[in-house]
Structure 1
Amino acid sequence: METPNILQAVPPRTQNAVLDLKTFAGNASSLEDPMWFLRAGQKCWLRGTGTARNGNPHAFIVYAARTITEAEVTAGVASPVLRSELNKLMDNTSITLTFSVATNGGSLANVTCPERVLLVKQAIAIIEERFVGQTTHTYTQGGIVDTPTMKVTFVSGPNRAGIVPYGNDQYYSGQSYVMCQNVPHSVPPQKHRFDFKHKLESIKFAWVWKQNPGQVTFYDEHHRVLAVHNYPEENKGGFWVEYSPPPGQVISSMEVTVEDYSFIDNFTMSYRL
């Protein structure tokens, strides 16, 4: 008996092949190759099962009780697999396709073919923000920096913040976002909101010259708190802030609370296309 296929999987007609959603647009294409016992008029089914982005099982129907045509007896049974269903699956997890047929002319399947297992790679984009091209300027509370990837708002607090040139190493890239400019200890602290222009599945950025306690709060698209990261220790030399939300959730914004003269730069972010 033949095993169902998705034609975009590589290598083709191979168990555990990779179905990379970045390599094609629109729906995928399924094909059940001809088999000696298939006849026109028989009913057939193709089902998919996998793991949803939230970690729960996800099952969907490609087609159900479909009538095989004369042409399909020799060419095989072909059908689109909706991209909307494939997009629901967790990245780097398996999808299993099961083809069954009612060879006795009935409405219930009595023959099930071997399953096809494929590895799904979601279309994930990786982007960076280095504040390249941003002019040097600082401002007081209410000021905004708008870049292609984010809008940064100085929400509250005294003193100044904005874009200034500083270092150029693993943590800096020339222009950086400065907070509490030239102030060793700000009371009250400054708060800065970063609204992202994509729904992020991961984020990493550098925080440099932080000497007093700081905090980063990550929010979902409904402004519900996803996580709070506290950084009480002094770390002048710089460190990486990294966060990926639970499966099925995305980062829409974050808020940085800062008490002293320090810098944020060198963002790397990912989002689903």
Structure 2
Amino acid sequence: MTAPVPPATPVPPVPAAIDAHHHVWDLAVRDQDWITGEELAPIRRTFTLDDLEPEARAAGVYATVLVQTVTVAEETPEFLALADGSDLVAGVVGWSDLTDPGIAGTLAALRALPGGDRLVGLRHQVQGEPDPEWLLRPDVLRGLAAVADAGLVYDLILRPHQLPAATRAAELLPALTFVLDHGGKPPIAARRSHPWSEDLRALAALPNTVCKLSGLVTEADPRTWTVQDLRPYTATLLDAFGPDRLMFGSDWPVCRLAAGYGEVVEAAHTLTSHLTEDERRAVFAGTATRVYGLR
């Protein structure tokens, strides 16, 4: 007779976690023109902090970083106002036109708004730029230098073929911290790792780069993904950046295309269960606190 298999030991969560990457949007205020087609239909509705908060608290998350969704200047002041009235949002990664010669003044003005002290970084939808070397344009590099001068960080949302340009930009701007969102979007659904893994390691070799353990469930097959599908890619991220330069993010509500908030948190705990307690604290809180300067 075969002995029964004991149940898997639950992975203990860290006592207090930070979600370093989520979104909100209100379709009554502004359309999200990227939410098109049948595949994205489940998230084509309004998502608010009131929707997020109970799920975050239930998962042991006590603070978050709210990240831009569209390249509209009005969104960032709105997000800062939300953060100013929230006990949950500790930081905002907003958007401003990097190519604007007056970007330094724009950033100063944003900082002076209610909630302006929560502005921790900027992001642009580089993944949508047809030029794979958009980050290396002289006007973009000038804007990125202004971001560094303002004491902010820069989030990179891009596709794998754009990683080499990001690496070169990080080399040219050593004073600016670059945060790679969603692990650089590895081709998980295709079960490939090259050339993503090599280009990722080149970026990670630079000391002014950090990465988010986020967005992986939607890079896998959203209908059939398992933790095992994610494990090789998470292992690469951990090996390349180390826990002190890796931070957890839910990518809520986009993650809902593949998994609920609690499922994403649980998967991240499972994928990091082999780390020491101090290393797990870095991934789930310490890195985000340090890099974004969260209160």
TM surpasses 0.5: no
Structure exhibiting the larger radius of gyration computed from Cα positions = 1
Higher share of residues assigned strand: 1
Q: Indicate the structure whose relative CO is greater, using CA pairs within 8 Å and at least 6 residues apart.
A: 2
Q: Specify the TM-score bucket, using the shorter chain as the normaliser.
A: under 0.3
Q: TM-score, normalised by structure 2?
A: 0.20
Higher share of residues assigned helix: 2
Q: TM-score, normalised by structure 1?
A: 0.22
